[in-house]
Amino acid sequence: MKLELSILKNLVYNEDYLRKVLPFIKPEYFSDRTERTLFNEITSFTETYNSTATIEALSIAVKEKNNLSDDEVQKCEDYIKEIESNRQTETEVQWLIDKTEQFCQEKAIYNAVLGSISILDGKDKNNDKGAIPKILSDALAISFDTTVGHDYLENSDDRYEFYHRKEERIPFDLDCFNKITKGGLPAKTLNIALAGTGVGKSLFMCHVAAGAMVQGKNVLYITLEMAEEKIAERIDANLLNVSLDDLMDLPKDMYDKKVARVKEKTTGKLIIKEYPTASASTTHFRTLLNELNLKRSFVPDIIFIDYLNICCSSRIKAGANINSYTYVKSIAEELRGLAVEHNVPIVSATQTTRSGFTSSDPGLEDTSESFGLPATADLMFALISSEELEEMGQMMVKQLKNRYNDPSYYKRFTIGVDRAKMKLFDVEQSAQQGIADAGHQGIGAHNKIKHDKKNFEGFKV
């Protein structure tokens, strides 16, 4: 028996099979017009009446179709009779589900190849060559996912295993950040640094990106603010341990030796990609990820986007009459969706408002343009600077939102800053004393010292 006939027969006579496979089968998988017509009628009947189609209903529906010739109607009638005559033939359901999945995969790949050829020949006016990697990868990803939710009672064993499973995270090289995130950034998350202009958003992301690469992770750094070379220059200063000024005067042979030493220490890669400000969205980022995978076999473990507010939305058309709250929230949701889709953490940043820029204690309300951004982010923290902190080469970090841990745990803490070398580093524990809500200074202990926004005494290396 032909597989397509077996599929259509069981869609009519086997409701269990119908419920499991119908959401994944598409009409274009049937190359024969008769089979495609009958499949469409079965789908239409099931969606309308929430039941398997009957032979009588199929026969009547085919005769009432106006876009079929008499010969095509007769072919459909003969096919329906063949389905009915094979009614008694039993097929093992799981075997048929597996064969149907294989059928869908093969047809999807075949159609994707034909579609790609059509794009290359210029016959497809809706897609350009940049869409080909996405079309092919979507076809290769076809699979039957029959899970429909977590049964609280039946799946308790799975839940217990989840509680005790060690989640893979990308750790920081900064102790306090590892403490507040329980060991680093998990996949499928959006993490945001809030800071005023010039405080150190890009410095923070460059330092963490460099640290992740040294750990052997593949890092993708997308910049919409500075040139690729400027970002690479900052990462050079960080990894080569050379100030930005001295980097300009470094002899070529010494520079090569330092880069070679970094290369020997890590198996990770770091790729920097520049887009013009406010011109790139998650659509561009997906295309970039597909191209990196196809052309360089590069799959990132973590993505940095510098920075969120100057991306554009893939859902809202540029120049549309929309408020900033909705627009920036849309960008945040799309970036978090990208993180989930590619199973990576995304790190980005946002600006403070004008009042937040001068505040020594910013909050979520000081997020510029959209309060929808903190509503979407998994982790959000403020980077705070002042003249006193700058003199001591330090920066304060304040947790604003944390889905990984209790945000009152190390609510505020300080980190060291070497702006010349674009580095961040841990300060000794005594430097954290005197910061209100600094969190647990030991197991079960809480810092009860009152916070004075104007008092930075106690900040020391």
Q: Helices marked H in 215-317 — which ranges?
A: 228-240, 244-249, 252-265, 282-296
Does 438 have pLDDT greater than 50?
no
User: Domain 169-432 in CATH: superfamily?
Assistant: P-loop containing nucleotide triphosphate hydrolases (3.40.50.300)
Name residues whose C-beta falls within 8 Å of residue 38's C-beta, 6 or more positions apart in sequence.
8, 58, 62, 76, 79, 80
Band the pLDDT of 12: cuts 50, 70, 90: very high
Spatial distance between the Cα atoms of 14 and 12, rounded to a whole number of angstroms = 6
Residue whose token pair is 């597909």: 290
pLDDT in tens, 155-180: 899 888 888 877 789 999 999 999 99
Note whether 3-140 and 169-432 share their fold: no
- SS3 assignment, position 344: coil
- SS3 assignment, position 1: coil
Instruction: Tell me the β-bridge partners of 349.
Output: 193
| Extents of the domains making up the chain | 3-140, 169-432
Residue 286's nearest CA partner among 112, 136, 134, 115 is: 134
Spatial distance between the Cα atoms of 22 and 35, rounded to a whole number of angstroms = 15
- Percentage of the residues of the chain whose pLDDT score is greater than 90: 58
Does 371 have pLDDT greater than 60?
yes
Contact 339, 346 (CB under 8 A): yes
Contact 311, 305 (CB under 8 A): yes
Largest CA distance in the chain: 91
pLDDT (average), residues 373-400 = 91
Q: What does the pLDDT read at residue 188?
A: 94
Spatial distance between the Cα atoms of 193 and 373, rounded to a whole number of angstroms = 11
Phi and psi angles of residue 304, each rounded to the nearest 5 degrees, phi first: -115, 135
Residue 272's nearest CA partner among 295, 288, 250 is: 288
Contact 286, 211 (CB under 8 A): no
Name residues whose C-beta falls within 8 Å of residue 447's C-beta, 6 or more positions apart in sequence.
433, 435, 436, 437, 438, 439, 440, 441
Contact 35, 4 (CB under 8 A): yes
User: Domain 3-140 in CATH: superfamily?
Assistant: DNAb Helicase; Chain A (1.10.860.10)
Residue 374's nearest CA partner among 400, 411, 351, 397 is: 400
Does 365 have pLDDT greater than 90?
no
pLDDT averaged over every residue in the chain: 87
- Token couple for 333: 């949701």
pLDDT in tens, 184-213: 999 999 999 999 888 889 999 999 999 999
Name residues whose C-beta falls within 8 Å of residue 395's C-beta, 6 or more positions apart in sequence.
199, 200, 383, 384, 385, 389, 414, 415, 416, 417, 424
Q: What is the pTM of this model?
A: 0.68
pLDDT in tens, 59-86: 999 999 888 899 999 999 999 999 999 8
